[in-house]
Amino acid sequence: MNINMLMQQAQRMQKDMEENVKKTKAQLGQTEVQAEAGGGLVKVTMTCRFVVKRIEISPELLQDEPDMIEDLIAAAVNDAVRQAEAIADERLKGANSGMGLPPGLSGLF
């Protein structure tokens, strides 16, 4: 096999992978997760690109101490981030699959 052909094939594969990753990231920007804390007293909606779209606080919670409200908001946001990361990791792993990379190298892209 010719070295020029190998280089062209590698460039095509890289371009395909970059397009797949770009498309997947755009889809992640449209995918939302919802997390809650305090038994639903605080709800957070976030995209899988980590943009918080909405925070809902139950009116009954607003009568509590500010520290408790802040803790519940933080817990809900952190849960949403974990969910978004899991989805993003899985989808980006899929975007990199099929590229013929040796095990362990697909995570580099």
* Per-residue pLDDT reduced to its tens digit, 51-92: 999 999 999 988 888 999 999 999 999 999 999 999 999 988
Distance (Å, whole) CA 49 – CA 96: 18
Number of domains in the chain: 1
Domain for residue 62, yes or no? Answer: yes
Distance (Å, whole) CA 84 – CA 63: 30
Distance (Å, whole) CA 63 – CA 101: 56
Identify the band that residue 16 occupies on the pLDDT scale cut at 50, 70 and 90: confident
Q: Are 55 and 43 in contact (CB under 8 A)?
A: yes
Q: Which domain holds residue 91?
A: 32-96
Instruction: Give pTM, 2 decimals.
Output: 0.72
CATH number at residue 61: 3.30.1310.10
User: What is the full DSSP assignment across 33-46?
Assistant: EEEEETTTTEEEEE
Domain for residue 80, yes or no? Answer: yes
Domain for residue 5, yes or no? Answer: no
Domain for residue 24, yes or no? Answer: no
Residue 41 has pLDDT above 80, yes or no: yes
Which residues on neighbouring strands pair with residue 9, listed in sequence order? none
Domain for residue 16, yes or no? Answer: no
Domain for residue 87, yes or no? Answer: yes
